[in-house]
Amino acid sequence: MSEFTIAKVAVEKTVYHFDKAFDYCIPKELSANAKPGCRVMVPFGGANSKRQGIILALAVQKETDCLKPILAVLDKAPLLSNEGLRLVPWLKEHYFCTLFDAVKLLLPTGMNLKIRTEYSLAVKPDSLPMEDFSEPERQIIHYLAHAKAPVDRDKLLLALGLAADSEIPQKLCGENVLLKSSEAVRRVGDAAQKMVRLTDISDVPKLTKKQKNVYDLLCEAGSASLKELCYFAGVTPAVVNTLESKGIVQYFDVEIYRNPYDHISGAGDSRDIVLSSEQQEAFDHLYQQYRSGKGGVSLLYGVTGSGKTSVFMRLIDEVKTDGRGIIVMVPEISLTPQTIALFHQRYGRSVAVFHSGLSLGERLDEWKRVKNGEAQIAVGTRSAVFAPFQNLGIIIMDEEQEYTYKSESSPRYHARDVAKFRCAYHKALLVLSSATPSIESYYLAQNGRYSLNTLSTRFGSAELPEVTVIDMNTELEKGNDTILSTELFAALTENLKNGKQSILLLNRRGFHTFVSCKNCGQVVMCPHCSISLTYHSANKRLMCHYCGYSVPFTKECPQCHENQVCYTGWGTQRAEQQLQELLPDARILRLDTDSTMTRFAYEKKLRLFAEGEYDMIVGTQMVAKGLDFENVTLVGVLSADQILYSDDFRSYERAFDLLTQVVGRSGRGKFAGRAMIQTFTPENSVIGLAARQDYQAFYKGEIAIRKAMLYPPYSDICVIGFVGSVQDKVHKASKTFLNNLTVLAKSEYPEQPMRVLNPTPALIGKVNNKYRYKLIIKCRNTAKFREMISRLLIQFSGNRDYKSVTVFADINPDSIL
CA distance 712 to 73: 46
Whether residue 781 contacts residue 813, with contact meaning beta carbons closer than 8 Å, is answered with no
Whether residue 640 contacts residue 655, with contact meaning beta carbons closer than 8 Å, is answered with yes
Whether residue 9 contacts residue 786, with contact meaning beta carbons closer than 8 Å, is answered with no
Tens-place pLDDT, residues 557-586:
777 878 877 766 778 888 888 889 899 989
Q: What percent of the chain has pLDDT over 70?
A: 92
Q: What is the pLDDT of residue 232?
A: 77
Tens-place pLDDT, residues 652-678:
898 899 888 888 878 776 788 888 998
Average pLDDT for residues 122-133, to the nearest whole number? Answer: 84
Strands (E) located in 657-752: 674-679, 716-724
The confidence band for 254, taking pLDDT boundaries of 50, 70 and 90, is low
Q: Residue 338 pLDDT > 80, yes or no?
A: no
- Can you give the pTM of this predicted structure? 0.79
Tens-place pLDDT, residues 753-782:
999 999 999 988 888 889 999 999 999 999
**Residue 611 carries which side chain, given as an amino acid letter?**
E
Average pLDDT for residues 221-226, to the nearest whole number? Answer: 80
Q: What is the pLDDT of residue 255?
A: 43
Comparing 471-475, 703-707, 790-794, which segment has the lowest mean pLDDT?
Answer: 471-475
- The residue ranking higher by pLDDT, 411 or 608, is 411
Q: What is the pLDDT of residue 514?
A: 67
Beta bridge partners, 716, equal 779
Comparing 407-416, 531-540, 654-663, which segment has the lowest mean pLDDT?
Answer: 531-540
CA distance 217 to 211: 10
Q: Residue 191 pLDDT > 50, yes or no?
A: no
- The residue ranking higher by pLDDT, 219 or 502, is 502
CA distance 219 to 671: 48
Whether residue 617 contacts residue 506, with contact meaning beta carbons closer than 8 Å, is answered with no
Whether residue 740 contacts residue 746, with contact meaning beta carbons closer than 8 Å, is answered with no
Could you tell me how many residues make up the chain? 817
Beta bridge partners, 431, equal 298, 396
Q: What is the pLDDT of residue 247?
A: 86
The confidence band for 113, taking pLDDT boundaries of 50, 70 and 90, is low
Is 25 labelled as part of a ligand binding site?
no
Q: What is the pLDDT of residue 256?
A: 42
Tens-place pLDDT, residues 295-330:
899 999 988 878 888 898 999 999 999 999 999 998
Burial (CB < 10 A; 0-12, 13-18, 19+), residue 799, is middle
Q: Residue 265 pLDDT > 60, yes or no?
A: no
Is 38 labelled as part of a ligand binding site?
no
Tens-place pLDDT, residues 602-645:
677 878 888 889 999 888 877 777 677 888 889 988 888 877 77
Q: What is the pLDDT of residue 629?
A: 80
Average pLDDT for residues 45-63, to the nearest whole number? Answer: 88
The confidence band for 167, taking pLDDT boundaries of 50, 70 and 90, is confident
- The residue ranking higher by pLDDT, 349 or 786, is 786
Q: Residue 519 pLDDT > 50, yes or no?
A: yes
Q: What is the pLDDT of residue 596?
A: 64
Q: How far is CA 746 from CA 358, 741, 751, 783, in A?
A: 50, 8, 9, 17
Q: Residue 417 pLDDT > 70, yes or no?
A: yes
Whether residue 774 contacts residue 764, with contact meaning beta carbons closer than 8 Å, is answered with no
Comparing 243-252, 408-417, 511-520, which segment has the lowest mean pLDDT?
Answer: 511-520
Residue 147: half-sphere exposure toward Cβ, Cα within 13 Å:
19
406 Cα distance to chain centroid: 8
Is 526 labelled as part of a ligand binding site?
yes
CA distance 787 to 412: 17
Whether residue 452 contacts residue 446, with contact meaning beta carbons closer than 8 Å, is answered with yes
**Residue 250 carries which side chain, given as an amino acid letter?**
Q
Is 520 labelled as part of a ligand binding site?
yes
3-state SS assignment for residue 797: helix
Is 718 labelled as part of a ligand binding site?
no
Average pLDDT for residues 741-750, to the nearest whole number? Answer: 95
Q: Which one, of 574, 572, 529, 567, lies nearest residue 548 by Cα?
A: 529
The confidence band for 385, taking pLDDT boundaries of 50, 70 and 90, is very high
How would you label 538-557 residue by residue, b for 16+ Cβ within 10 Å and e otherwise? ebebbbbbebebbeebeeeb
Report the chain's mean pLDDT, rounded to a whole number: 86
Q: What percent of the chain has pLDDT over 90?
A: 38
**Residue 222 carries which side chain, given as an amino acid letter?**
G
**Residue 765 carries which side chain, given as an amino acid letter?**
G
Comparing 211-225, 269-283, 616-630, which segment has the lowest mean pLDDT?
Answer: 616-630
CA distance 696 to 2: 68
CA distance 462 to 475: 32
SS (H, E, C) 549-577: CEEECCCCCCCCCCCCEEEECCCHHHHHH
Tens-place pLDDT, residues 449-490:
999 999 988 766 667 788 889 998 998 888 888 889 999 999
Q: Residue 689 pLDDT > 50, yes or no?
A: yes
Whether residue 507 contacts residue 659, with contact meaning beta carbons closer than 8 Å, is answered with no
Whether residue 807 contacts residue 733, with contact meaning beta carbons closer than 8 Å, is answered with yes
Is 219 labelled as part of a ligand binding site?
no
Q: Which one, of 418, 420, 408, lies nearest residue 719 by Cα?
A: 408
Q: What is the pLDDT of residue 272?
A: 81
Domains annotated on the chain, with CATH: 4-110 (3.40.1440.60), 115-186 (1.10.10), 192-255 (1.10.10.10), 277-455 (3.40.50.300), 466-511+569-706 (3.40.50.300), 514-568 (no CATH), 716-811 (3.30.70.360)
Average pLDDT for residues 74-96, to the nearest whole number? Answer: 94
Whether residue 196 contacts residue 190, with contact meaning beta carbons closer than 8 Å, is answered with no
DSSP 682: T
Q: What is the pLDDT of residue 153?
A: 86
Q: What is the pLDDT of residue 161?
A: 87
CA distance 380 to 245: 40
Whether residue 517 contacts residue 507, with contact meaning beta carbons closer than 8 Å, is answered with no
Task: Show the DSSP H helices in 272-404 as ranges.
Answer: 277-291, 308-321, 336-347, 360-371
Q: Residue 446 pLDDT > 90, yes or no?
A: yes
Q: Residue 58 pLDDT > 80, yes or no?
A: yes
